[in-house]
Structure 1
Amino acid sequence: MNMRKQSLIHLDGRTVTLIDSGTDDHGQYLLVEHVIIQQGAMNGPHWHPVLQEKFTVKEGRMRFVIDGRETIVEQGGCITIHPNETHQFWNVSDNRLIALHEVRPPGQHWKMFEFIHKLECEGKLNKKGVPLNPLWLGVAWKCIDGYIVGPPRIVQTVFLGGLARLAEFLGYRI
């Protein structure tokens, strides 16, 4: 499964770099590096039924809220988010943040990073990073391998999953 190293450079200067992917003694994984220039939220609150994520802060500081518990991770520290834990994270560094992000199993996470980058570069996201077109929203939702906080899981599965199926039927591709 090893993918070739590549970087996605966003309009605001942040980068997501594919470091490694494959299988080891603990199963399949994806390892990416995030370099974030601006302070603030890096995502909205969400959860994954299967994925486990581990963040290691190489430079700067990250704030996490996991199942309502707030934690600050300093340079050299790490934190693991287990399946079904609701989480959100922020860059709270004085300067830039550099963090390694390990995802097990990788699911569609790299596709998600590539897809959101593509939509951003094409001007198809709002200021919060959400696709403007509901069909692209369905495709993006399918890539997160999880659920956003708020709408019940069944509503997301039916509505956003339905948008994803309609988008695919109409030829929308990642």
Structure 2
Amino acid sequence: MRDDRTLTFRNGHRVTLVAHGTDERGPYLRLEHVLPQSERQAGPHWHPVLSERWTVRQGRVRYRVDGAEIIANPGDTVTAPARTVHEFWSEAPDTVVDHEIRPPLRHWEMFRLWHNLDRAGKTTRAGVPRDPLALALLWDYQDGYLAGIPAWLQRGALGGLARVAQRCGYRRRWLESGSDLG
């Protein structure tokens, strides 16, 4: 039986859905990341609505949040509020991080989409989808923006390509092979 709550990428990165729901602070998604290699995990980006919080359980992660560099060791927690540019790198092999997203929007679906593209060999070594339509759909599901590129330009270019990807069946092809939250 397949475990739909754990996604393993070709580079060994494992993302496990730990919990999702609503508490006194609103809707949340909790994930665990196991990062086998020391490497960049996410380039500079920001989210208009959601905030992220990471707690390092094992290893070390370097974050840049709103221009400030933070080295997080086991037990340390780092937060990126909505509208704050952030990026991060794992700096030790076999790093384990708890990741909370509020509100989750479509973050789990984004990881599922990315995983399905990766497992099919449709991404580069850095994990970037080779197909511009798949890249645009992944951008759409991350519910955020790349830093340094005007949001209006991303909405126009990538948002437009994401709509074309939807019409061409990319969501059905790359997302509906696993289950959504629920």
TM-score of the superposition, structure 1-length normalised? 0.94
Which residue in 2 is equivalent to 1:172? Answer: 170
Aligned to 2:14: 15
Alpha-carbon distance between aligned partners in 2 of 1:150 and 1:81, rounded to the nearest angstrom: 17
Question: Helix, strand or coil: the match of 2:84?
Answer: coil
TM-superposed CA distance for 1:13, in Å, is 1.5
* Matching residue's letter, 2:30: L
Unaligned runs of 5+ in 1: none
Map Cα deviations across residues 114-167 of structure 1 (whole Å, 9 max, x no partner).
Answer: 111100001111122111111111110101100011321011000000001011
In the other structure, the counterpart of 1:108 is 106
Pairing 1:120–2:118 present: yes
Q: Secondary structure at the match of 2:43?
A: coil
Distance 1:76 1:130, change over 3 A: same
Cα distance, 1:11 vs structure 2 = 1.3
Q: 1:104 Cα shift? A: 0.1
Unaligned runs of 5+ in 2: 176-182
Give the 3-state SS of the residue equivalent to 1:127 in structure 2.
Answer: coil
Q: Secondary structure at the match of 1:43?
A: strand
The residue aligned with 1:63 is: 62
| CA–CA separation in structure 1 for the residues paired with 2:61 and 2:6 | 21
Distance in 2, matches of 1:146 and 1:11, equals 24
- Judge which range, 131-140 or 23-32, deviates more: 131-140
Instruction: Report runs of 4+ in structure 1 exceeding 3 Å deviation.
Output: none
Give 1:83-98 correspondences, 5 Å limit: 83-93=82-92, 95-98=93-96
Q: Summarize the Cα distance change of 1:128–1:12 in structure 2 as closer, same or farther, 3 Å threshold.
A: closer
Q: What is the distance in 2 between the residues matched to 1:61 and 1:170? A: 41
Question: How far does residue 59 in structure 1 lie from its aligned partner after superposition?
Answer: 0.6
Letter aligned with residue 101 of structure 1: H
Secondary structure at 1:30's aligned position in 2? strand
Distance of 1:137 and 1:14 partners within structure 2 = 19
In structure 2, what is the Cα distance between the partners aligned to 1:140 and 1:92? 25
Q: Which amino acid aligns with 2:115?
A: H
- Matched length: 170
Structure 2 distance, partners of 1:10, 1:164, is 23
TM-score when normalising by structure 2: 0.90
Match of 2:180 in 1: none
**Counterpart position of 1:162:** 160
The CA deviation at 1:79 is 1.0
Residue 29 of structure 1 aligns to a residue whose secondary structure is strand
